[in-house]
Amino acid sequence: MASLGDLKKIVDKLNGEVVTTVVYHAEDDELSYEVSSFRHRLANTCEQGCLVLGKSLIDREELRDDWDEEIKPNYIYCETADGTITPLGDTYTQVHSELEYGAVSQLTNTQWFEGENYWATIFGELNFSDIKELKIK
């Protein structure tokens, strides 16, 4: 089990990672993308989220009655402004994998259909010129 100090280092490392957000605009068949830190991307999505430690959630009394599942103190979660709490893991690899595969909905729209807007946040700095270059999961 990771210590709180180790989990804090994982959160700091993830927050500092470079991500590319790619948006396909169906109405004009255009792609746009933005490169930012993961912290910036998560904070500036519609739900305004952030990575938090379970310990900090447990310490906040107002959450105790609203959360149905057990919050683990040595675990990393994503908390959004609307009160959604998503469990992500307790290792760098596990949390990174959960984020890559769309555990936090505002980071990826995995319901892409022809003629509809699509967005994805991908770890790393990438350039795209065509929607077909995206690996839609």
* Domain assignment present for 87: yes
Residues 64-72, mean pLDDT to the nearest whole number:
73
Map the chain to HEC letters.
CCCHHHHHHHHHHHHHCEEEEEEEECCCCEEEEEEEEHHHHHHCCCCCEEEEEHHHHHCCHHHHCCCCCCCCCCCEEEEECCCCEEEEECCHHHHHHHHHCCCCHHHECCCCCCCCCEEEEEECCCCCCCHHHCCCC
pLDDT at 136: 46
Q: What is the pLDDT of residues 45-60, one digit of tens each?
A: 767 899 999 999 888 8
Q: Decide if pLDDT at 38 tops 90.
A: yes
Instruction: State which residues form the domain around 8.
Output: 4-128
Provide the domain count of the chain: 1
Q: For residue 44, is it within any domain?
A: yes
Residue 123 lies in a domain: yes
25 within some domain:
yes
Mean residue pLDDT across the chain:
83
In a domain, 133, yes or no: no
How confident is the model at residue 10, as a pLDDT? 97
Residue 136 lies in a domain: no
Q: Is 137 inside any structural domain?
A: no
The answer to whether position 102 is within a domain reads yes
